[in-house]
Amino acid sequence: MHIHILGICGTFMGGIAVLAKAAGHRVTGCDAQVYPPMSTQLESQGIELIEGFDEDQLQLGPDLFVIGNVVSRGNPLMEAILDRGLPFTSGPQWLAENILCHCQVLAVAGTHGKTTTSSLAAWILEDAGLRPGFLIGGVPGNFGVSARLPGGYSGNSGGNSSLPWFVIEADEYDTAFFDKRSKFVHYRPKVALLNNLEFDHADIFPDVAAIETQFHHLVRTVPRNGLLVVNGRDAHLSETLARGCWTPVVRFGTPDGWQTGATDVLGTLSITDRGQPAGATNTWPLLGEHNRQNALAALLAAQFAGVAVARGVAALGRFSGVRRRMEVRGQVRGVTVYDDFAHHPTAIETTIAGLRNKVGRARILAVIEPRSNTMKLGVWVDSLAGSLANADRIFCYAAQLGWDADAALKPLGERVLTDENMESLVESIVKEARDGDQILVMSNGGFGGIHEKILKRLSEE
């Protein structure tokens, strides 16, 4: 089959393209902006890319158009597809009907930590020899790719217990312009990992109750012989399950259940079950309490797949991290520059806390781009300053915001500098930086290549 993917350069749709190609399909695609690294990754797979959404692409004659949620009514190619009555489907639905239906699915959902937890779960299964498939919204260091088919994948359903495992980052964002359900309701997981639930995506959800409803739709799809792995500390998840639950539940993070060690220090990870030791490693590479909880959740999900917790913990000691999650981009003149995907106040606060635990009294220069739709709408204005309180200096890129960044960050006093110009912001950061400083850049986008700009200017000083 020849499929043509609209919006192919997003992480999710690009992953679908890789999976479809590996499954034997001819794959082409288009997007508004076709540029590295995704364009390079796709072209290396033999996937033809077209820039733009011109209706002339109909001449390719694909059997099916797969539509990403970046595409809306008014898109010229989409309008031509509709006018001619040509077959189309969404990315999540295509994935479910063509790949996931031949696998046992381990779905990782939550407002925060999906990419890291999915990567941890996939690596635990891989280290145990299960050769899982995966589609993750980042690139795990142990794999070097964001998506692959399971080892031994045949495209046949067979007996359920013999199906290969597939780990998927299960996003609550909507599916497509013609399907406003969350993506994850398509996946029908055997194991659903519910990490946390907060208000986000204010462009499509009116309140947290609406998100709880979508999470409950996911809960309704998990079979009674499956498993829900749930953060026992999260009140919104408790409210979600109170609406109805038909699947065994294992909770983590609670005093009477699975926990990480109370005395864990940097570089160590220990797991207890009702206070009894269950596994430990002294080569744990990730920072922060939030990542210890991510690891615990991944271990419990992998346990259902047959991986003993102690073996899983040993595997985590060999975990190589995820790109754009506290990734060190370089060090110049004693100044270290990190890249992190944090873009919600909770994620910003926990990311800074994790780095603080590592560097102690060294100065942290937090550089933020309030880029997400929720941030741009000003939903988190009242929480932003508090989330940055543990940083020594704060630099905010304030271009194209619908709210006053100076006013929002005023509680932080003279530690803050806001700027709507990228170049002058970089100059201010470089002027402030000194030996031993940790520059933590946080954005859910490319941030205009600010990491390279900072490193380049530091090297010129």
What CATH number is associated with residue 76? 3.40.50.720
On the question of a cis peptide bond just before residue 37, with omega within 30 degrees of 0, the verdict is yes
259 and 176 in a common domain:
yes
413 and 296 in a common domain:
no
34 and 8 in a common domain:
yes
Q: Are the C-beta atoms of residues 335 and 430 closer than 8 Å to each other?
A: no
Round to whole Å and give the CA distance between 352 and 454: 19
- The pLDDT of residue 13: 94
Per cent of the chain over pLDDT 70 is 97
Give me the number of domains the chain comprises.
3
Q: Are the C-beta atoms of residues 315 and 127 closer than 8 Å to each other?
A: yes
Summarize pLDDT for 89-115 with one digit per residue, the tens. Answer: 999 999 999 999 999 999 999 988 899
Question: 136 is in which domain, residue-wise?
Answer: 99-316
110 and 73 in a common domain:
no
131 and 66 in a common domain:
no
CATH code at position 274: 3.40.1190.10
Token pair in block for residue 236: 């919104």
**Distances in Å between the alpha carbon of 410 and those of 198, 268, 450?**
25, 37, 24
Residue of higher predicted confidence among 152 and 135: 135
149 and 84 in a common domain:
no
CATH code at position 449: 3.90.190.20
Q: Cβ neighbours of residue 15 under 8 Å, at least 6 residues apart?
A: 135, 136, 146, 147
* Tally of CB atoms within 10 A around 62: 21
- Residue 140 phi/psi, 5-degree rounding, is -65, 135
Nearest to 150 by CA among 128, 124, 130, 123: 130
Q: Is residue 321 part of a domain?
A: no
Q: Which residues share a beta bridge with 394?
A: 366, 416
Summarize pLDDT for 169-185 with one digit per residue, the tens. Answer: 999 999 999 999 999 99
312 and 341 in a common domain:
no
433 and 291 in a common domain:
no
Round to whole Å and give the CA distance between 142 and 122: 10
Round to whole Å and give the CA distance between 402 and 407: 12
Round to whole Å and give the CA distance between 390 and 104: 42
* Tally of CB atoms within 10 A around 415: 16
76, containing H or E segment: helix 76-84
Mark which of 90, 118, 143 sits at the end of a domain. 90
Summarize pLDDT for 188-220 with one digit per residue, the tens. Answer: 999 999 999 988 877 888 899 999 999 999 999
- Residue 393 phi/psi, 5-degree rounding, is -135, 150
SS3 content of the chain, % helix, strand, coil (to 5): 35, 25, 40
Mark which of 56, 72, 90 sits at the end of a domain. 90
- Residue 336 phi/psi, 5-degree rounding, is -100, 135
What's the pTM value of the predicted model, to 2 decimals?
A: 0.85
- What's the pLDDT band for 458 if we cut at 50, 70, 90? confident
Q: Are the C-beta atoms of residues 31 and 51 closer than 8 Å to each other?
A: yes
Q: Is residue 416 part of a domain?
A: yes
Summarize pLDDT for 367-391 with one digit per residue, the tens. Answer: 999 888 777 777 778 889 899 999 9
Average confidence (pLDDT) over 332-350: 87
